[in-house]
């Protein structure tokens, strides 16, 4: 332990002497557990011995300039007892995230019972009854990712009261498919109160472009994982080899939203989409809607103008990546043309752009 302290101190002193920054790293104070910035990631301050990757580089006598810079960038400060604290990134993705176990036999746009098991559905209380009007996606046992507009600036008398997981048919207490020996049923849905709603601080209903349209919801209890309730994967920086893969090829949206034939579906549906050229989309919205899109947004559209609709607000846009074919949430449904199926593409909040915000809010509220 003493050796690690000395090595870390030497690296810090060496770097401090080479920098023109006014920061006096030798007097920087920190506490174990402090939330810290680790470059593209967010972490917590820990003792250096509790960060194996850091220790391995620290002990290497032949460090590259990049490795030396890495050591400096991970330095949190000194504890009250003068122990070196370093910033260890926090990982949110669980080992089984984004994996589903369905053998797809359903035709059309209807999902299988256990397909996209990370889908969440929010129930609203209205002046005259109840209804489901927004979706979301489970990212760990306690948090659901959704859109800020699902919770901010609601109509008078509207209130979000529940979040439901493991749902398929909103009009049936027991979800089943098939008959006789081929009959298959899902376990009862898991329903939670909303312990805390965390919309992005920069979101405002006054902004027509719905910039920063992203929110987290902390559930009132831990979810119980099963084949029907699984978290999706977040696009952690560095874990997806090529960020462009998140936007290439076929993307999938799922939910209980509006279709061209009815106001909402009782069953969980899915649709396949492709990314729409951002510059063309930005130009189209500026010209036809006078809406200015930002770098934290992107556009997607299906064949023949097919798109997600209002009932799917807050739901995920997903991409299947890697040898294990995991699903990553790439976007959150934000807004689109007022008429479902118009040629104008839908607009999505880019999850990768808000990764650090997501992790920081989870750490602050856990």
Q: How far apart are CA 75 and CA 54, in angstroms?
A: 10
- Of the residues 146, 284, 313, 334, only one is catalytic, namely 313
For the chain, the maximum distance between any two Cα atoms, rounded to a whole number of angstroms, is 77
Residues in CB range of 285: below 8 A, 6 or more apart: 209, 291, 292, 293, 344, 347
Distances (CA, A) of 107 to 298, 308, 314: 29, 19, 25
CA-nearest of 90, 68, 70, 86 to 78 is 86
Told to judge if 307 belongs to the known catalytic residues of this protein, a careful annotator would answer no
**Joined tokens for residue 4:** 């690690």
Q: What share of the chain is helix, strand, coil (3-state, %, to 5)?
A: 20, 30, 45
Q: What is the DSSP string of 234-289?
A: P--TTTSS-GGGGTSSEEEEEES---SSSS--SB-EEEEEEEEPHHHHHHHHHHHT
Local structure of 349: helix, strand or coil: strand
226 is catalytic: no
Nearest to 43 by CA among 326, 285, 332, 360: 360
Nearest to 308 by CA among 350, 253, 349, 365: 253
Helix axes 52-59, 65-73, angle to 10 degrees: 140
DSSP structural state of residue 301: E
Q: Can 279 be counted among the known catalytic residues?
A: no
Catalytic one of 213, 254, 265, 284: 213
Choose among 266, 265, 270, 267: nearest CA to 254: 270
Sign of torsion over alpha carbons 355, 356, 359, 360:
negative
Picking from 66, 58, 46, the residue whose alpha carbon sits closest to that of residue 12 is 58
- Catalytic residue, candidates 149, 212, 254, 265: 149
Reported as type and span, the H/E element at residue 129 is: strand 129-138
Catalytic positions, written as ranges? 149, 213, 313
């Amino acid at each position: 332990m003493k050796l690690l302290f000395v090595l870390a101190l030497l690296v810090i002193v060496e770097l401090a002497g080479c920098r023109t920054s006014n920061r006096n790293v030798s007097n920087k104070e920190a506490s174990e557990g402090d939330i810290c910035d680790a470059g593209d990631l967010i972490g917590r301050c820990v003792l250096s011995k509790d960060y194996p990757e850091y220790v391995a580089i620290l002990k290497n006598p032949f460090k590259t300039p990049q490795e030396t810079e890495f050591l400096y960038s991970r330095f949190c400060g000194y504890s009250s007892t003068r122990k070196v604290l370093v910033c260890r990134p926090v990982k949110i993705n669980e080992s089984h995230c984004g994996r589903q176990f369905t053998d797809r036999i359903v035709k059309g746009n209807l999902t299988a019972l256990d397909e996209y098991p990370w889908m969440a559905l929010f129930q609203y209380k209205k002046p005259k009854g109840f209804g489901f009007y927004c979706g979301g996606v489970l990212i760990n046992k306690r948090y659901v990712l959704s859109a800020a507009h699902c919770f901010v600036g609601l109509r008078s008398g509207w209130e979000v009261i529940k979040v439901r997981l493991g749902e398929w048919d909103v009009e049936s207490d027991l979800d089943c498919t098939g008959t006789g020996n081929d009959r298959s049923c899902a376990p009862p849905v898991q329903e939670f109160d909303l312990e805390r709603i965390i919309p992005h601080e920069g979101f405002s209903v006054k902004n027509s472009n719905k910039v920063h349209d992203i929110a987290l919801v902390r559930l009132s209890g831990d979810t119980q994982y099963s084949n029907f309730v699984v978290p999706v994967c977040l696009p952690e920086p560095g874990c997806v080899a090529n960020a462009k893969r998140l936007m290439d090829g076929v993307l999938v949206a799922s939910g209980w939203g509006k279709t061209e034939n009815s106001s909402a579906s009782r069953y969980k549906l899915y649709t396949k989409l492709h990314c729409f050229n951002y510059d063309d989309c930005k130009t189209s919205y500026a010209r036809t809607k006078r809406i200015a899109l930002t770098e934290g947004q992107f556009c997607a559209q299906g064949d023949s103008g097919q798109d997600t609709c209002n009932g799917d607000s807050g739901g995920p846009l997903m991409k299947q990546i890697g040898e294990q074919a995991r699903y990553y949430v790439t976007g959150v449904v934000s807004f689109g043309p007022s008429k479902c199926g118009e040629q104008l593409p839908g607009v999505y909040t880019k999850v990768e752009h808000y990764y650090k915000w997501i992790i920081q809010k989870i750490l602050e509220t856990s």
